[in-house]
Structure 1
């Protein structure tokens, strides 16, 4: 193992255009191809996204009928999805006439539901013609929205289940059943809280959106930069220091965000040059960064949005899910640390002294308040507050930036916009 000590004098490495293009492609694979508007269209999308975030922050405290909350949530998501995500790559960065038509149709399904009031839900067993039109339309809109954001696999699987409902009587045993007619399917999927507006939308409209807002607050408040700086300062100049830094930073960034791609891209721009200095090849560095980012999917408190669905489907508390997820998360990152130690000895990594601008203690004294929101969420849940109230409280309070100042109105606008567009992609 080489004992030569190399010093990194570049606190922020420049990222090439090719690397940025690859990072953008990775994000598009995860979240779908999306438009980048300018002018009044960009302002409109931003305004709708901000209104959506403010509405969900309001509903975290106010009492809103679940039927209306879920319908409005779906309407917001469909409107943003059809404007932000193009029908095909060749139509990027422009809103076509069919995009506007689909976006308005998505809002119309919610307006029709809310305007119908209690009578709408009372006739779920015997829907009328207009109910069927809007119900079938909503199903088709959701299938198209899924195709735009996730690709063809999920819409095809969903369509197979819908076709099974119609053609089940013609299948041999044991797959045969009596069959379902369109009015019965529409009544169940559109006019009750057991179909489209079921558990998944309930969790998305009450919990996932709030955690997304919270993650955006962390990003724009400087918490992400602090977590990276904290990891750099915590790890010394040993040959394993670079790998340890990536592992710790992935854990701190991935837990609150819940996004593996976002964690990998954010950390990769800073850590990739450092890993190259130590002696990692491009493949080894990419594998370590990807493995660290992948841990975000299983890391508390978000678990890639799965934690809320687990709690809702199993009828257990969210805090229990977090506690049960802690052990596999720690084992996962501990295994990464072991691999870092083994690779350093196997490949003869160089010893690198990280050029730290701040000591660990000074960083913690100045910016350690970024840890308080994570601690506050756990404490308030132990005191009996709901996860929604905890997240709304931590997201809506003024938050200082990494420079020690309060967030500006512009940054708050970006936070609310970013959180809603991220929710639409999920």
Structure 2
């Protein structure tokens, strides 16, 4: 057992290293370089908090967001294996190129915005430069699978006339692609990056405030206190802790690693074998991605695409989330009989004592929907929740967001959005190409035709396609692509828009 204990992460640094193994490795830079990057991260968070109450042209706000994201991605995500300990000249050049390419939009915006049909030579140069920068950022922060998929869609836009039916289309030259994907609000600066710039970053800042206030430890302690006195307590504690910790963060990997570092030895002592213990921890991590309030960032994208309230998306997510966790609890009970699980004494405080002491951390989980029920917009609701999380942290010394912790919360909030923001930028290119070429309608017709216009078969074929796509891509990218390709097929057969998009997500 001691040998197994040594194999799991024990320190915060080890936890972070394991998370980065699956979500992308970032540089850890001491000294002046690290301080400069931390300052940029803090400025990024402050800008987005300020922007919630400012009047900013949509495309300018999205361009500023992407500028921050690209600069920080090139400075934080190494381009090759031996570049983790320092920033190379190439990284600085790419960051500066990002400032130039996106700064060009800001400097000439009043004229730029009217040239989507006929971009000029500078538009072409900086448009192509931005595409290449986004592709390189995608390779670094997300992975090669999404990079190759974006390249495939771009090639498809060029070679349409040379393809056989039903894939053929008129074909588009570079000028049209730059106009559609760079100048207009149809590609890079479309809905996906817009959601990242207005909703997702606010929630990552909120999650970072919770983390710095010690809410994560409280959620785990509360879960073990509530469930640790039963024979199935270890498994149930993992599930409850994953829900409480993962819902606000939206990160399945981080939730699995954090809970696993504490719970894996307990699961083994209770009688779980390695595979079953790992499976239970993974199931909890998946629950973090599909649970309110973030749904792995998809909740905001669904609301924006369908032009509905974020609260409506949360309402639709309640039943699937409850069913998912009920199924996990049922499997835990079955495993108790299959493995002959035994009770493991867990040193935990009284749950009532914990709740009374840290009630304000638990209350923060319901503040966002509570504000929205009072008529607040999603942006205003999360903004007030961030403010109240900061103020209530002073209720106890151990949760107090001191100036140092506050700076760390602001910096980590922006750092955590980088991977998602790059994903939405890359997915925006795909969405732009799909809309330009009509590929979404073509594929929906193909799916419906293959299914013989049977709704059941269409759902099955769609699920298989989504499963294959999800094996290689992050959940956000998978949903965005499926929303423009698979959803039309389901809607064509009479499925409501919201039901179709929720089916795609789950």
Which aligned pairs between 1:233-248 and structure 2 lie closer than 5 A?
A: 233-248=225-240
Please name the residue that 1:194 is paired with: 186
Please name the residue that 1:159 is paired with: 151
Which aligned pairs between 1:208-287 and structure 2 lie closer than 5 A?
A: 208-287=200-279
Deviation of 1:26 (Å)? 4.3
Please name the residue that 1:374 is paired with: 365
Does the aligned pair in 1 maintain the 2:213–2:399 contact within 8 Å?
no
**1:295 counterpart (287, 301, 307):** 287
Partner of 1:353: helix, strand, or coil? coil
Which aligned pairs between 1:394-409 and structure 2 lie closer than 5 A?
A: 394-397=385-388, 398=390, 399-400=392-393, 403=397, 406-409=400-403
Partner of 2:108: helix, strand, or coil? helix
Deviation of 1:46 (Å)? 0.5
Change (3 A) 1:22 1:42: closer
Q: Equivalents in 1 of 2:364, 2:233: separation in Å?
A: 28
Higher helix share: 2
Please name the residue that 2:353 is paired with: 362
Cα-Cα RMSD: 1.7
**2:69 counterpart (72, 77, 100):** 77
Deviation of 1:173 (Å)? 2.3
Q: Equivalents in 2 of 1:167, 1:268: separation in Å?
A: 48
Q: Equivalents in 2 of 1:117, 1:345: separation in Å?
A: 66
Q: Equivalents in 2 of 1:380, 1:284: separation in Å?
A: 40
Partner of 1:16: helix, strand, or coil? helix
Q: Equivalents in 1 of 2:285, 2:123: separation in Å?
A: 44
Deviation of 1:393 (Å)? 1.5
Please name the residue that 1:384 is paired with: 375
Does 1:424 pair with 2:418?
yes
Does the aligned pair in 1 maintain the 2:15–2:258 contact within 8 Å?
no
Which deviates further from its counterpart, 159-168 or 203-212?
159-168
Does the aligned pair in 2 maintain the 1:228–1:249 contact within 8 Å?
yes
Deviation of 1:339 (Å)? 0.8
Gaps of 5+ in 1: 1-13
Partner of 2:118: helix, strand, or coil? coil
TM-score normalized by the length of structure 1: 0.93
Does the aligned pair in 2 maintain the 1:239–1:351 contact within 8 Å?
yes
**2:324 counterpart (332, 335, 340):** 332
Q: Equivalents in 1 of 2:334, 2:17: separation in Å?
A: 32
Partner of 2:293: helix, strand, or coil? coil
Does 1:393 pair with 2:384?
yes
Does the aligned pair in 1 maintain the 2:204–2:417 contact within 8 Å?
yes
Q: Which digits, 9 at most, give the CA deviation of each residue in 1:208-254, with x for residues without a partner?
A: 00000011011111111111111111114221111111111111111
**1:90 counterpart (82, 85, 88):** 82
Deviation of 1:63 (Å)? 1.6
Q: Equivalents in 1 of 2:404, 2:371: separation in Å?
A: 29
Deviation of 1:110 (Å)? 2.0
Deviation of 1:418 (Å)? 0.8
Q: Which digits, 9 at most, give the CA deviation of each residue in 1:131-173, with x for residues without a partner?
A: 1000000011101111111111111111111111111112222
Deviation of 1:28 (Å)? 2.7
Partner of 1:329: helix, strand, or coil? helix
Deviation of 1:336 (Å)? 0.7
**2:408 counterpart (408, 414, 423):** 414
Q: Which digits, 9 at most, give the CA deviation of each residue in 1:54-112, with x for residues without a partner?
A: 00011112221111110000000000000111111122221111111111111212211
Does the aligned pair in 2 maintain the 1:30–1:150 contact within 8 Å?
no
